[in-house]
Structure 1
Amino acid sequence: MGGLKPFALWTVIALLVGGLVYLAQAQGLIHTTFPLWALGMVLVWALGFVNLLARGPR
């Protein structure tokens, strides 16, 4: 996939994850003092790792 397709896919994934985190915080599943930047970094790392696994060995 070239061009804007990968960028658009990652943008949609980021928006969905951000929405889920927002809803979880609104429902009280994530405490309001929890550092959301830390959760975001873990999610970015996990998505990158999944991307590497999906590509397979080169």
Structure 2
Amino acid sequence: MTTQTTAKTLGQSAVRTEIAAIFTVALIGLGIVFVAGHAQASALHDAAHDVRHATGFPCH
């Protein structure tokens, strides 16, 4: 009986953790879309260009 209770408690904890992770990822994603939507095109280009150089990816 205690094994079933422990498994049930662990299952509920895992679901709460999963919901919190989904909510956090959704919030970060919406933040990125909001910031990118309000930034000037040249600022986004410059940021992407700098990241490409920093990671060693040849961009031109």
| Bigger Rg, structure 1 or 2 | 2
If each structure's helix is expressed as a fraction of its own residues, which one has the higher value? Answer: 2
